[in-house]
Structure 1
């Protein structure tokens, strides 16, 4: 199934050698950004009454894991990659935080503009950076701290911390970013130890198990349109992961990382096209500040890699 949706993209999942191709990498990351923004759009439609009675975020998360797992297990059956040792503890940690993060993210987009939730989600690397200090014993220099502070100021702007404009639901997106930042720590520990397709397979299998238990308390029968949207979220998420993994494999991270910020543009366009939501000045300023912090971090990492390679 995934082979038909994203042809020639699954090779990178098995860690086979891939030639550098910055132009293709940029295209793949751009496609992944458009797809990821599309999943939040579908989540918003499911969390409101657009496609029928609003679904609980845990049910939306369950649909995401269910259909993504079906896509990935089908791909594994076709490719038959050589699977290696499984680091179960790391997988349990990564999947638990991943499930909670995506559930909180889906909950937030039902109440705030998709662009705002997407911008706040870009704090993931900032939280991961801070958490890496005690958990991975990594050193953080002044430029990284500057990037983190700038990004957090942008998040504060988006939260609109005044009695008249404060958006409590934005705290859901902020918490999601922090939780997914913790997931990134586990992903970093897994990277290099297992092949990408094995990580995705186990992650989605565990995520489906957790989501199935959680959804049993809130399940309601979806409408046909909601079933289609749930299936689309899962399939698109798997496809976006394939695009992103292969894009990262074809160019330096410092080159492709800024391109992923296009997700914010797609999110704003989708929100306007479907829900007629126009970003206000506060949203644009807050998003711009967060992106500035992210770009400072990307620039600094690129400079450090260049210095080490000399």
Structure 2
């Protein structure tokens, strides 16, 4: 019979350890949409339509006297780290198109790295494109790397707008951690005519508090009108800016007019940008902006 006391001196068998689990691979949103229009018998007609993944396009029936509209949708509901969305828009010679989004784009908290958005716009000679997406709302601890690339030919015109909102104002959210890179490149006949970029890495609330950045504003926007006669509209635009509630400014040089917006809330900035855009377009913004 085994002595129980002796058993206490026996070495314990080695315990098998379960292998450490690696972090789960999160599903990422991927999407690509491409549309092209041309002018046929005095009307703008759809030439090409492609959509894949979460990037979708809707073409509502245009109202009488209004140009054709394309409404972009992200069916994933927002953007987070690792997502990749790409839109390509082509407007043929003499065609006219307005592009907007169904709603504001939300950039959610990212566990690692930014989400990527690439917008490529191409307008042939005599064509006209209004790029009027609704706001981009940045959540705390989010990341976004976005590019807007515009190529114009000859006397093509483009009205380009972007609005960025830092945090969810209704919740009192402060964006303390952010990784943002937003770049614009506009070319006419291959020559660079406008380049702009915003980089905010770190505590966005602290960075935007300075007088040289945004004076503690939580919403910023840009509106760029690219057309041969753009500088002639400067006085008209500055008169409209005098009616705006936020901080604004406008400047112009050959072939281009640039308007900047800074506001304490997304509502103020939206109203200001809408006022100026409608003055430049001489018609209301797309219907989805009024929903």
TM-score by length of 1: 0.28
TM-score by length of 2: 0.30
Greater C-alpha Rg? 2
* Structure with the bigger percentage of strand: 2
* Structure with the bigger percentage of helix: 1
